Chain A
Amino acid sequence: MFEFKTSYFDKEYHKPGETPFFFPPLNTRSSVDSNLIEIRGKTGSGKTTLLNIFAIALNYLEQEKNLEEKKPILKRKLDALKNNDTLDYTFHIVYNKAKKVDLAIQQKNGVKTILFDSRPVDPDFLQKTVEVAFLTEDDPEKVITASRGKLERYFRSINKKIDATAFVLSKHIEDIKEYNEDRIRVDEIQREIEQNKNKIQSLKGKIDELNGRISAIKERDQYNNWYKLLKNEENIVDRYKEIEKKYEKFKKLKNKDPITKIKKVRDIKNEMNLYKQEVLRIINEIRQFGLSLRCFYPELDIEKMINDDWSQFSIIYKGVIKKNEHIIVQKNMAGEIFDICKRYPSDEMVPVIDQPAGHLAQRLSEFVNNTQIKSKEFEVVQKLSSLKDSYIDYNAKIAECKEKIDKIEAEIDGLENYEEIQNEYKSSLEEYAALQEAKNYDWSEIYSKWLELRNVHGDIKQLQCQKDSLDADLSLEEAFHQKNMIRYQNMQEKIKTNPKYLEKEKELKELNEELSNLLLKINSWINIIHDPKAAKDEYKAATVGFKFEDYNKFVDAVGFYLGKQFEPIPFADSYHKISFFNIEEQAFITTDDRKIRIDMLSTGQQKLTSLIGSLKNVAEGKQIIVLIDEIEALDPEKLADAKNKLKELYDSGKLLLAILVRPIDEDSPKKVEIMGF
């Protein structure tokens, strides 16, 4: 278990009354239930200072007599902290492995106390029981990489913070800008509203004038109309009566169903077609028998008969009948007597003849049947006579059908005109009604008013068109006015509250400008620290903003800053104090003005692992406390290897406590993270 707490007041930095530096930070636990500890923290969070204070507490300065030669910078840092009379700390280590250890070291108001198993012990006690291995990274390349990385991350974190403040600042500037624009807009809207009002007034005036003219024209047209009606009274009445009569007639016709009429016409036409077919058949027979008759009468003109001229045939017919008159009379007589006999019982005796009626009827029938006129001529004439009767009969029927169709079709035609007549009637009725209205007024009054108004000029349609257009303009203008009023009220409401810092707009803008300049500088520093050579070319060409002289200034300042970070470096069998690090050339400049390129130095990459390995040979009766600062440059495999070796030492009872410190991502929500491994 390890528990810790540190604080000190930096007289060079703090102002009286300010809170001193302290570690762990707020909301970070100050104890870990492990003796193998990893602390990860943001740049400047105080994690390295914790190790430095812990090393002082463990008498590291007394342990490392030649620290001034090996690591003068570390020595100065530790001395400064040790000599700070405000430095307070508490460290408590509990060890429960091979043997039980309960060690507490604390300093309060400059008085240091060491407790072992809760009993105070001398400061010498620590030197006898504990050996401190304080490993600060001193591989030059790793130190350079770590320092540059650290600076870059720090610059980026500053950038973010400036950005965050600049964002809020810009918002205030925007709010003020918007407020000022809104104020200007309010004035503009107010002017627009005034213009709207004037336009609306002007449009209303024009519309009123047009309305007056339209009314006058309507009045003129009304009197003109009455005047004309009264003047044409007689014609109007006559026309109305005539059309009314026609209309009434058609109205009656309309009451009959036209569809039934059409069906009836269709039926009659079908019937008529049958008659026509019959007539055609008869005509054929007339031709046929006409030709037979021509054997006896070659002069017979058949076409005359077909054209319904039967005069020639009638003469022939009479002549043929006359030739056979005797037989015809006998047959007629026999027929008539037969008819009489048939009216009586067959056994009734016929007087004079003295034969039963039935017997006589049979004999007469036999007489009629056996008595034939043996003449071809007679047969043909008889047939043609019969055809003539049929022909005349069918033609009469056809004529009758035609007459019926004509009549019905005339009625249908009348219905087709009905709508036209109805409209004509309607217009006539309106005219008649208008006339009746006009007749309510005094004729002389109408006439004198007409004379008065006849000089009113203008076309009502044209004026109405103009008025419609003005009405549309007025509607638009009124809608625009209403919209502007709402906008005006909203804007008034909006500008009622002044934005923050309204009176300090100028200062805000200046501040914004200053923040932008700072951002530009820091961004450029990031570029340079990230890739000095590429940045050099970029800034050499720059004519505005961050220029080449700014580049050189930064490279110089960083060179001196990084140079100071270095402990003397071993090269060519001696240690060299460093005054400058040239980031462009990756070279150290020594205090005696020598240049040593970084790639000329040994990498020392196995240093950490070999150092931990060498700790196995610790003096009997002592336990080691390992403090390792900035293990960032170790790759994961080597880090795991180092941790494993530390675990082995711990399990074997040689290691009392190990603290590894490395950076945390600058974007991490936690400032410091402390955990066991």
Chain B
Amino acid sequence: MNGKIYANELFEKLLDTCELKILEVILQENVDEEEKIKKLLEMKPHV
């Protein structure tokens, strides 16, 4: 589950692109919360 969303097709129907991108970052493994927040903020202007 290294950033991959299980049942991706279901989530694609239920969430918009921004939400999916956020979820992908949050589901990344072996990445601490600070790093995730950093990544989320970095992609913020595009989201």
Contact = CB atoms under 8 A, between A and B. Distances in A.
Given A158-B23, A162-B26, A515-B22, A521 B2 contact: no
A161 B26 contact: yes
B37 A168 contact: yes
B40 to A, nearest CB: 6
Interface string A508-519: 101100110110
Interface string B22-47: 11001100000110110011001000
Interface stretch (A200-208, A550-558, A597-605): A550-558
A251 to B, nearest CB: 93
B26 A553 contact: no
A525 to B, nearest CB: 8
Contact of A169 (B9, B14, B23, B37): B37
Contacts of B1: 42-45
B19 A518 contact: yes
User: Mostly helix, strand, loop or mixed at chain B's interface?
Assistant: helix
A72 B40 CA distance: 40
Given A151-B7, A554-B14, A561-B9, A507 B44 contact: yes
A557 B14 contact: yes
Nearest to A525: B14
B37 A161 contact: no
A521 B6 contact: no
Contact of A510 (B14, B23, B37, B44): B44
A154 interface: yes
Contacts of B13: 553, 556-557, 560-561
Contacts of B40: 165, 511
B6 A43 contact: yes
User: Mostly helix, strand, loop or mixed at chain A's interface?
Assistant: helix
Contacts of A13: 4
B44 A165 contact: no
Contacts of A507: 41, 44
- Most central of A165, A518, A557, A561 by chain B CB within 10 Å: A165
A504 B14 CA distance: 29
A449 B15 CA distance: 100
Contact of B10 (A169, A172, A514, A561): A561
Contacts of B33: 164-165, 167-168
Contacts of B22: 511, 514-515, 518
A560 B18 CA distance: 23
A165 B44 CA distance: 15
A19 interface: yes
B37 to A, nearest CB: 6
Interface in A137-176: 151, 154, 158, 161-162, 164-165, 167-169, 172
B29 to A, nearest CB: 9
A465 to B, nearest CB: 64
Contact of B41 (A42, A45, A501): A501
A136 to B, nearest CB: 17
Contact of B34 (A42, A168, A518): A168
Nearest to A558: B10
A364 to B, nearest CB: 149
B4 A44 contact: yes
A165 B33 CA distance: 5
Interface in A60-79: none
A162 to B, nearest CB: 6
Given A507-B41, A557-B14, A154 B9 contact: no
A521 B36 contact: no
Given A19-B2, A511-B40, A561-B10, A161 B18 contact: no
Nearest to B4: A13
Nearest to B2: A19
Interface string A473-510: 00000000000000000000000000001001001101
A21 B29 CA distance: 13
Contact of B18 (A43, A162, A165, A514): A514
Contacts of A161: 26-27
A327 to B, nearest CB: 149
Nearest to B40: A511
A164 B1 CA distance: 17
A511 B26 CA distance: 12
Contacts of B27: 158, 161
Nearest to B45: A507
Contacts of B14: 521, 525, 553-554, 557
- Most central of B1, B26, B40, B44 by chain A CB within 10 Å: B1
Contacts of A521: 14-15, 19
A521 B15 CA distance: 9
B22 to A, nearest CB: 6
A501 B41 CA distance: 9
Contact of B7 (A514, A518, A553, A561): A561
A507 to B, nearest CB: 5
A43 B7 CA distance: 10
Nearest to A169: B37
A410 to B, nearest CB: 103
Contacts of B6: 43-44, 154
B15 to A, nearest CB: 7
Interface string A7-24: 000000100000101000
Contacts of B26: 158, 161-162, 165
A394 B5 CA distance: 135
A553 B12 CA distance: 12
A215 B27 CA distance: 82
Interface of B: 1-2, 4, 6-7, 9-10, 13-15, 18-19, 22-23, 26-27, 33-34, 36-37, 40-41, 44
20 contacts: A45-B1, A158-B23, A162-B26, A165-B33, A165-B36, A165-B37, A165-B40, A168-B33, A168-B37, A169-B37, A508-B41, A511-B40, A514-B22, A521-B19, A554-B14, A556-B13, A557-B10, A557-B14, A561-B7, A561-B9
Nearest 8 interchain pairs by C-beta? A44-B6, A557-B13, A168-B33, A44-B1, A561-B10, A507-B44, A161-B26, A165-B33
Interface of A: 13, 19, 21, 42-45, 151, 154, 158, 161-162, 164-165, 167-169, 172, 501, 504, 507-508, 510-511, 514-515, 517-518, 521, 525, 553-554, 556-558, 560-561
Given A501-B37, A561-B9, 9 more contacts: A154-B7, A158-B27, A511-B40, A514-B18, A518-B19, A556-B13, A557-B14, A561-B7, A561-B10
